Amino acid sequence: MALIVDVQRGEALFERKTDVQRSIASLTKLMTAMVLIDAKLPMDEVIHIKRTDRDRLRGSKSKLSFGTQMKRGDLLKIMVAGSDNRAAAALGRTFPGGHKAIITEMNKKAEELGLKNTVFKGVSGLRSGNMSTAHDLVGLVKAAYFYPLIREISTIKEDFVTDLRKGWKVEFRNTNRLVLNRKWDIMLSKTGYIADAGHCLVMWTEISGRPVIMVLLNSWGRLSKFGDSNRIRKWLNRADQKAQKAARAEKKVEAKISSVRLTPVSEIE
């Protein structure tokens, strides 16, 4: 399932099964981040990681040990760029009203954005009930792009957050390896994976000087979404080069035609 959209023209450059609803895994965290930012909660507030924040559903690992004390802003950073599920759980738990309240707000925002086939059951994406379509995810990416903080933290290459208990640095890397590739100019990014969703990737990037949103869902292998992205970029580059070549050839023909002196009708015997 895939959808590639030229943002400026608003047209699909490639599409396949764009309205099929399926699990979206950690792509969910873009909506979690938007709702947290909308709530205007203090980013310097210290949050404690508790045992209740562990992933009991799928047993995923986390860089945050129990007892970690971390600023909300740092948890948001490692949740988005590092896709840390324990950070997402802690952020949801400390949202006013807790998990139930933030999930309600996430679904409310999806409705406001016109994402008719999108539903959220959790903040991290671990639940298979977090569903959307490629078409809706383009709308989600467009909305997230207007949050400067999300653009910034979603494209962090590698960084660290600080456990305030002893001042320890917790290092992490972006789960999208393309962010580390100099050939790519990526303005927003998020990856995701659970068995029900397959490997997923959304990006706002620039290819041949034009902004493009890429949505890839249910890729079969851990690295296949990155390989697919590189093939798509090469395909778009080749297409643009052919279009530019054709445009130059057309201009040459027009120039030749305009340079020809036509004989006035009055001079024709």
Spell out the domains of the chain, with CATH numbers in brackets.
2-259 (3.40.710.10)
What pLDDT does residue 245 have? 59
Q: Per-residue pLDDT tens for 38-47? A: 999 999 999 9
Catalytic residue check, 29: yes
Q: Which pTM value belongs to this model?
A: 0.86
Catalytic residue check, 83: yes
Mean pLDDT, residues 49-78: 96
| Angle between helical axes of 85-93 and 98-112 (0-180°, round to 10) | 100
Per the residue annotation, which of 26, 62, 128, 132 is the catalytic one? 26
What percent of the chain stands above pLDDT 70? 84
What pLDDT does residue 170 have? 97
Per the residue annotation, which of 23, 62, 83, 229 is the catalytic one? 83
Contact between 109 and 34 (Cβ < 8 Å): yes
Report which secondary-structure segment, H or E, holds 233. helix 224-259
Mean pLDDT for the chain overall: 89
Contact between 128 and 24 (Cβ < 8 Å): no
Confidence class of residue 231 from pLDDT cuts 50, 70 and 90? Answer: confident
Mean pLDDT, residues 79-89: 98
- DSSP state for residue 135 in the 8-state scheme: H
- DSSP state for residue 264 in the 8-state scheme: P
- Given a cut of 90, whether residue 201 has pLDDT beyond it is yes
Contact between 23 and 194 (Cβ < 8 Å): yes
